[in-house]
Chain A
């Protein structure tokens, strides 16, 4: 049975999720910030984490955006193969972003061309990713992505001989080079394997996973924990003023790759790691 869905139903949902994601920090991110403050041995760092908590509470109460960089709207659609969508999906998603960013008093941060740099004025187009999955549902995730942290992300085509150590060294190097720039404490999304583009996509998808969920494979779950400890031993700390809490979590997604390659992408997100999901 094919299930019918109107493109504008998806657009309306996108509009609402843009606003909610920008004003309400996910519970799992809040919980990690609180836990990190409680475990933080450095007093100046604790004070900054307190301000960060105060900020997301104010944002939720008013409500108003947690951060002025309300991001480029990354929209992930997992479309069940038994769904038929009537109407122009691309246009409906952009209409949703346009509506959400206008009605939610969100900042319009997208330029129409990377070189002529004229603002589109409505935060469109969205960065739209679609994936076909079994079933008759559409899962919609909106993740506004700020660029202070996006700019600190890196990708590297390692050699197979670089191995596990090469991956660890690269991830830690990227975080250390970023230092105070991406608004630590950060969330580190890592994509390992695939191709050049696939690794980057996996790193971005890794940022969507709740911070209290480890990689289902024990090997990668242990690697996430080890990398988090290594990063938090750097001493960068909240805002880069020193301390233990440089990262809140490291999330890794892996994928098969070519015999000749070991792509690694590191996508950094700030402490305002936002995403909101709904299923239609």
Chain B
């Protein structure tokens, strides 16, 4: 059974989640990829305010396709997360509690997740059409010049994810593969 969670996600709620849990996220999340992460961290370095409230925020690593008339968003599946590894520890320290992407994370990100209480969710890569149905509203809030890479505020309903790495550092990429190999 999938666990229903709400975004923004408190540190307390984030810490309860365990690697391997299936979750359905409803509420408000933000999109950001490589270029937006770079700009956010530059703002942090300059001591300037961020374009969104980073406290308890869940950030989705996605650059959607353009929406057609009547659609909230175009196809919108996750991008590979390790490219955000250089920036994530800074944002986690500032209050980010959830990241949605796909693929491995580096040790420095996992250390920050353990220290502050954050989780890394995986959405199914390459399923952008399916996942777009869970996005009810999308609005560009910063960096419009980046096109697909702009920061968007998304309202999502029952957005399906799996907890890949929890706040204790348990990692489904390691345990899932091992469980399967042990079953043989």
Contact = CB atoms under 8 A, between A and B. Distances in A.
Contact of B130 (A54, A119, A271): A54
B75 interface: yes
Interface string B62-98: 1111111001001111011010000000000000000
Nearest to B172: A241
A181 B129 contact: no
A277 interface: no
Contacts of A239: 102, 122, 124-125
Contacts of B63: 68-69, 107, 109
A68 B77 contact: yes
Nearest to A66: B129
Contacts, number: 148
Interface stretch (A43-51, A73-81, A158-166, A205-213): A43-51
A52 B127 CA distance: 6
B176 interface: yes
B65 A66 contact: no
A59 B82 CA distance: 27
B46 interface: no
A172 to B, nearest CB: 15
A68 B82 contact: no
Contacts of B181: 235, 242
Contacts of A119: 146-147, 149
A271 B126 contact: yes
A105 interface: yes
B65 A51 contact: no
B148 interface: yes
Interface residues of A, number: 47
A125 interface: no
A268 to B, nearest CB: 12
Contacts of B102: 148, 180-181, 183, 239
Interface in A33-85: 41-42, 44-45, 48, 51-52, 54-56, 58-59, 62, 64-70
Nearest to B133: A58
Interface residues of B, number: 44
Contacts of B122: 180, 239, 241
Contacts of A151: 80
B104 A179 contact: yes
B173 A107 contact: no
B103 interface: yes
A109 B148 contact: yes
A108 interface: yes
Contacts of B17: none
A181 B173 CA distance: 10
A68 B66 CA distance: 9
Contacts of B82: 181
B27 interface: no
A14 to B, nearest CB: 19
B68 A65 contact: no
A52 B176 CA distance: 19
Contacts of A240: 103, 173, 176-177
A186 B180 CA distance: 18
Contacts of B68: 64, 105
A68 B75 contact: yes
A181 B77 contact: no
A45 B180 contact: yes
Contact of B74 (A42, A65, A109, A117): A65
A133 to B, nearest CB: 33
Interface string A237-277: 10111111000000000000000000000000011100000
Highest count of chain B CB atoms <10 Å: which of A68, A180, A237: A68
A181 B75 contact: no
A9 B43 CA distance: 48
Contacts of A58: 129-130, 133
B50 to A, nearest CB: 21
B129 A62 contact: yes
Contacts of B177: 235-237, 240-242
11 contacts: A55-B126, A55-B128, A58-B133, A65-B128, A65-B129, A66-B75, A67-B75, A180-B173, A241-B172, A242-B177, A242-B180
Given A59-B129, A69-B79, A121-B147, 6 more contacts: A67-B77, A68-B64, A108-B148, A182-B80, A240-B103, A243-B180
